[in-house]
A and B are shown apart, each in its own frame.
Chain A
Amino acid sequence: DTAVSQTPKYLVTQMGNDKSIKCEQNLGHDTMYWYKQDSKKFLKIMFSYNNKELIINETVPNRFSPKSPDKAHLNLHINSLELGDSAVYFCASSRDRGVNTEAFFGQGTRLTVV
């Protein structure tokens, strides 16, 4: 069983479209994250939810909206896609939001905006 799974793995879409990426974790963790990895491999956090509550919202355009229907799911919806949104998006989860908890990552979703 995959611990953190995200779908789809690849997403190619045209500029201006709206798309969603889904993420589910079966680890019983309380905290979930979205990270963006750019073409230079730099990983930067976008959002974090703890028990369905938003706790981190970095300077991300408001075209990006996370939604957590329950603590096992954290979906990412992106409106009006732009070329610069092309990246790999990683979902992750951790036991809690404490200093010592490692994050477990999904396989990533490679988004290509054309």
Chain B
Amino acid sequence: AQKVTQAQTEISVVEKEDVTLDCVYETRDTTYYLFWYKQPPSGELVFLIRRNSFDEQNEISGRYSWNFQKSTSSFNFTITASQVVDSAVYFCALSEALGAGSYQLTFGKGTKLSVIP
């Protein structure tokens, strides 16, 4: 069975604070990929990052950074110096093998981030 857990349902921070969104996953696959998506109030789903199970290097993109820890099965997402535009629901997802070379994304339940000016 495969599962993605985002334990934080909602987080509120004041603008310019740093915030970390947690993601813990379960899988029996040895090769898998993890993803983060952003869903702003306008409703669309925006791809943020993809990380494979063999690459545990942290990644930084501007104010965004991701910490992948295979030992704890976690793929956490940190926003530094948060801004109001960061207010959104953030989803962590895991690629799930279906057999015959097919995969699908299994999503966590999302964390709603509110950045207060």
Contacts and interface: CB of A to CB of B under 8 A. Distances in A.
Contacts of A56: 98, 102, 104
Interface residues of A, number: 27
Query: Dominant SS at the B interface?
Result: strand
Interface stretch (B12-20, B44-52, B65-73, B77-85): B44-52
Given A55-B102, A99-B31, A41 B109 contact: yes
B45 A100 contact: no
B70 to A, nearest CB: 16
Contacts, number: 64
A95 to B, nearest CB: 12
Interface of B: 29, 31-33, 35, 37, 39, 43-47, 50, 52, 89, 91, 95, 97-98, 100-107, 109-110, 112
A57 to B, nearest CB: 11
A108 B104 contact: no
A10 B4 CA distance: 30
A108 B72 CA distance: 34
